[in-house]
A = this chain, B = another copy of it.
Amino acid sequence: MKKSDLALNELEIEQFLSDVFPQLYADGEQQFFVENVEPYSARIRLKYHDRHLRPGGTFSGPSIMSLGDVTVWIMVLAHIGRVANSVTTSLNVNFLMKPDQVDLIAEGKLMKLGRRLAVGEVTIFSDGLASPVAHITATYSVPPK
């Protein structure tokens, strides 16, 4: 499978995100950037922004979980196209270290894309650092065609 075989490219995914998840935009400003989508992988950037802060000035746990969740959703979309009703059925997160006050980078792998379920894993880094901030696995229920 080649990148050109994907159902949606980076711009199309960002457009779809802004249509169906306006609440992902903080005060109308774009937060999630689809930097790269390949077959079975993706890299997503979450902009550093006060809105995500928890005590100590870092991203909150829920922001990090959202980023992992959205990254798996984006990989599913890239393969099956605009399907808003694909829903998360389970998610597991391990928080590994406090993020820095910089953007977060999510590196996702789509491990399974079955007829009913899709499963992805995502490692999240502070931009420019090698040690991961968090690791997430998420399962999506894929709607019947």
Contacts and interface: CB of A to CB of B under 8 A. Distances in A.
A63 to B, nearest CB: 8
A51 B132 CA distance: 30
Nearest to A51: B23
Contact of A69 (B53, B61, B131): B61
A141 interface: yes
Interface stretch (A2-10, A31-39, A100-108, A115-123): A115-123
A95 B65 CA distance: 14
Interface residues of A, number: 43
Contacts of A96: 111-112, 119
Given A23-B54, A55-B20, A94 B119 contact: yes
Contacts of A54: 21, 23
Nearest to A84: B55
Contacts of A116: 116, 141
A92 B95 contact: no
17 contacts: A23-B60, A55-B85, A56-B85, A61-B66, A61-B91, A62-B66, A65-B91, A87-B95, A87-B98, A89-B94, A90-B95, A90-B139, A94-B112, A96-B111, A96-B112, A112-B132, A117-B141
Given A90-B94, A111-B123, 14 more contacts: A21-B54, A23-B53, A55-B85, A56-B85, A61-B69, A61-B88, A87-B95, A89-B95, A89-B139, A90-B90, A90-B92, A94-B139, A97-B112, A111-B132
